[in-house]
Structure 1
Amino acid sequence: MLRLLYTLLWLAVLPLALLRLAWRARREPGYLQHVGERLGRYPHSPGAGPWLWVHAVSVGETRAAQPLVQALLERYPGHRLLLTHMTPTGRQTGAQLFGGEPRVAQCYIPYDLPWLVRRFLRHFEPEAGMLMETEVWPNLVRGARRAGVPLFLVNARLSPRSFRRTARFGRAAAAMYADFRGVLAQTEGDAGRFRALGVAGVQVTGNLKFDMQAAPELVERGHRLRHAFGARAVLAAASTREGEEALLLDALARWEPLAGGVPRPALLLVPRHPQRFDEVAALVARAGLSLQRRSALTVDVADVADVADVADAADAADAADRPGAGEAGALQADVLLGDSMGEMAMYFAASDLAFIGGSLLPLGGQNLIEACAVGTPVLIGPHTFNFAQATEDAIAAGACERVADAETLVRAAAALLGDGARLAAMGEHARAFAALHRGATVRTVAALAPAIAPYVPEPH
């Protein structure tokens, strides 16, 4: 009965869901592309299989899926891989990561109505499916089981808050998870909460995000970008969410009375959602701070270190020749807005210290592992329920410090930036923390193996 009510509700809101695509397309035109895929309509033949299917809803899940996708392609050379998404930014990230791989295809997952799910499954006929982290859609999961597609919840996490909400559905929740072939959890805490719901087949395989490797060219770009700031320290504020930037900018504007004499660093501000780039730029202007956009740099940081808000590259070169320019650096704005996609590793590599957003307000936090992997120490706010175990482990390892609010963040940042030895030690702890927890990909692929038959082509 609950599933029927759920389906009827989806049917009722489907016109609103399509209107929402048009509404969101005002800022992100990609929402009006490939709309038919959201209705289970795929115009092209899927091509020869067999197919493995990984669903990664948006940017974070797609990045986390990268080591898994690469490992599956290596382990099963006769298979092709379908990567599905819900957001244009997730699809764009997938194209950046795997666009050169002919065995990877991408599309949107259909809305969670039974007949749309059937169209999708009939079209691709995946041999096995993997849903990343928290993406549990009842009709999709039930449809896969009815179609004989073994489905796994991979890199699975279930926060205490989500557990309490899910537990209200009692046996209905357990029945939904029973349609999975297995649940591969990030931590023992996540696994315990799944088991408390009555879920069978739960294994702890670890967090795939620890296995993400920053592209060497991005790290090198980060080092060049760091050089462009000159002698100033660089504080990154990464994956910030709506409401947080105003708090950060207000605290940054009051740096001098809060920081005990430590010079104010340059702020490398990277909002979580690209549709907010212009909004955040306006917030910076209203705070009375000077702004440079990553997208407006006159020369690519991959090629030249001394980029600046100048008319052209020749002016930048002239500026670099003037006395004192090497110390000051070519980037002298108060804030560099990271308005690009796929360059987060570069931003972390360019920073002396990183604050991870989504944590000043009760939004659950964001992934701190990518910063630690390149040796950047981390500050994080009080709200990290979506990444609780990773955050606590990073704090225990000496890679991360928790702050209570934006003002405390400024004080903690000043204390670290004013103590080079402590900052360097924290960076080493960050690298060690990231290295210690690797291996989830190997364990995940091993857990999936019984459901995936090695492909042997038919003899001609």
Structure 2
Amino acid sequence: MRLVYVLLAYLLVPVLAGITLWRGFRDRSYWRNFGERFGFGAGSPAQSIWIHAVSVGEVQASAPLVAALRRRYPDMPLVVTTGTPTGAARARALFGEGVLVRYVPYDLPGSVRRFFDRVRPRIAIVLETELWPNLYRECGRRRVPLVLASARVSQRSVDRYRWLGSVIRELFAREVFVGAQGEQDAERFRQLGAAAERTHVTGNVKFDFSVPPETVEKGRALRELHAPGRPVWIAGSTHGGEEELVLAAHRTVQRSHPTALLLLAPRHPQRFDDVAALLEREQVRFVRRSSGTACMAQTEVLLIDTLGELLDFYAAADVAYVGGSLVPIGGHNLLEPAALGIPVLTGPHNFNGPDVARLLIGRGAAEIVSDADALGNRVAQLLADGAARARIGALGRAAVEENRGAVEKLLRLIDPLLAA
């Protein structure tokens, strides 16, 4: 079965590489450090702690863990890998010169070996769920302990992975430790073959996220620049097919709040121009954040077509809708606006983080809206009720605060492995 997987990988990687190179014609960042995807590129001067965070959300979530490891092991190099240009850019902005940031290699035997030769990991820490047979096999071959941190897996994924049979079982046959987000996730990893004695519930590192002290002030300044005296709501991390729903919701909001400003933040930079074209077709009066122009009184939408500012714009808003949830993407990070004390709205599709969604909804800190009409009506209600916003925001802050501690639990798992 493994031979079949390797053959399929050799067939698929040229397609994936071609797609990456093609995207580079629109966004040159896809071409930068392309050789790293085949295991080439910069390496570590000594044995390193390697952390993999596949994209922007995981990179952001890894920040408290990276900070804790840097404090705990100041003499050991840290390497952070990601799979996307936006993830790499965010990692460099967060971690600076003290951390080597590079792409994870394609899951080809040769690419993986070259990567290990250069990075020289003493331990591998993979955030959430990235199951790559050749990469895991190389960890086992080189006796590198591998920790799945803040690990989660849906029942649908378990059923799909089972089709790989012995390939998946072999993943967990070596020194793989699971730090699951919840007991359900832990049980599903055991179903896939993870050893019971190496599977633990450590929680979700996203709860250990701390709002930088300057964020609230940045949000205040952004609001004063773009929307003084106006009600403001934000749709963060939206996807294709979702912006149309958000714009329909904004038209509903404008019926009762005609001066309301929508902050619209598409998830992926390669879609910024497409969303701008949509706004033009819909004859929406909008300003692009990248233009450096402040919104006028008649501006209806501020298109956030920049990177690394979403948290600041959450802090500028009265109400937050978190995208990827009115369309079946699975939702994004609900904890960022909740930690800022902003009422959170989300669509029904939250399978990327069901435990977080259940917790916040159960605490009254977040609400599900089923469609554009429901979104628009609820935003309008909240914009009209400052007391409700304050109450819901306080519940969100409390829920985040009470569930911190995942990083410390992970460190208790990691420390003995580095000491061995």
Whether TM-score is above 0.5 comes out as: yes
Q: Which whole-Å CA distance do the structure 1 matches of 2:152 and 2:386 have between them?
A: 36
**Matched residue, 2:89:** 92
**Matched residue, 2:177:** 182
Q: Which whole-Å CA distance do the structure 2 matches of 1:11 and 1:283 have between them?
A: 38
**Matched residue, 2:130:** 135
Residues 1:77 and 2:43 aligned together = no
Q: Which whole-Å CA distance do the structure 2 matches of 1:294 and 1:167 have between them?
A: 45
| TM-aligned CA distance change 1:288 to 1:37, over 3 Å | same
Contact 1:357 1:380 in 2 (8 A): yes
Q: Which whole-Å CA distance do the structure 2 matches of 1:415 and 1:162 have between them?
A: 38
Residues 1:168 and 2:159 aligned together = no
Letter of the 2:17 partner, please give it: L
| TM-aligned CA distance change 1:331 to 1:349, over 3 Å | farther
Q: Which whole-Å CA distance do the structure 2 matches of 1:25 and 1:409 have between them?
A: 36
Offset at residue 256 of structure 1 (A) = 5.1
Counting only pairs closer than 5 Å after superposition, residues 346-385 of structure 1 correspond to structure 2 as 346-385=312-351
Residues 1:444 and 2:414 aligned together = no
Offset at residue 170 of structure 1 (A) = 4.2
Contact 2:176 2:194 in 1 (8 A): no
Secondary structure of the residue that 1:385 maps to in structure 2? coil
Offset at residue 254 of structure 1 (A) = 4.1
- Which deviates more, 279-288 or 231-240? 279-288
**Matched residue, 1:6:** 5
Q: Which whole-Å CA distance do the structure 2 matches of 1:181 and 1:358 have between them?
A: 31
Contact 2:44 2:77 in 1 (8 A): no
Secondary structure of the residue that 1:14 maps to in structure 2? helix
Residues 1:418 and 2:379 aligned together = no
**Matched residue, 2:186:** 191
**Matched residue, 2:260:** 265
**Matched residue, 1:294:** 289
Contact 1:291 1:334 in 2 (8 A): yes
Residues 1:218 and 2:215 aligned together = yes
Q: Which whole-Å CA distance do the structure 2 matches of 1:140 and 1:438 have between them?
A: 31
Gaps of 5+ in 1: 299-307, 310-329, 455-460
- Which deviates more, 190-199 or 423-432? 190-199
Tell me which of the two structures has the higher relative contact order, counting C-alpha pairs closer than 8 angstroms and 6 or more residues apart: 1
Contact 1:54 1:83 in 2 (8 A): yes
Contact 1:219 1:345 in 2 (8 A): no
**Matched residue, 1:38:** 37
Offset at residue 409 of structure 1 (A) = 0.5
Q: Which whole-Å CA distance do the structure 2 matches of 1:134 and 1:289 have between them?
A: 39
Counting only pairs closer than 5 Å after superposition, residues 328-407 of structure 1 correspond to structure 2 as 332-407=298-373
Normalising by structure 2, we get a TM-score of: 0.95
Offset at residue 251 of structure 1 (A) = 3.0
| TM-aligned CA distance change 1:15 to 1:252, over 3 Å | same
Offset at residue 262 of structure 1 (A) = 4.5
Letter of the 1:424 partner, please give it: A
Contact 1:160 1:385 in 2 (8 A): no
Q: Which whole-Å CA distance do the structure 2 matches of 1:158 and 1:40 have between them?
A: 27
Residues 1:53 and 2:50 aligned together = yes
| TM-aligned CA distance change 1:56 to 1:16, over 3 Å | same
Contact 2:169 2:192 in 1 (8 A): yes
Contact 2:254 2:260 in 1 (8 A): no
Letter of the 1:349 partner, please give it: A
Q: Which whole-Å CA distance do the structure 2 matches of 1:46 and 1:256 have between them?
A: 54
**Matched residue, 2:143:** 148
Give the count of matched residue pairs: 417
**Matched residue, 2:272:** 277
Percent of residue pairs identical: 45
Residues 1:234 and 2:232 aligned together = yes
Offset from partner CA, 1:356-375 (integer Å, 9 cap, x none)? 10000111111100111111
Runs (4 or more) in structure 1 with deviation over 6 Å come to none
Offset at residue 203 of structure 1 (A) = 0.8
Gaps of 5+ in 2: none
Offset at residue 161 of structure 1 (A) = 2.3
Contact 2:124 2:147 in 1 (8 A): yes
Q: Which whole-Å CA distance do the structure 1 matches of 2:252 and 2:380 have between them?
A: 12
Given the alignment, which residue of 64, 67, 77 partners 1:67? 64
**Matched residue, 1:323:** none
Letter of the 1:294 partner, please give it: R
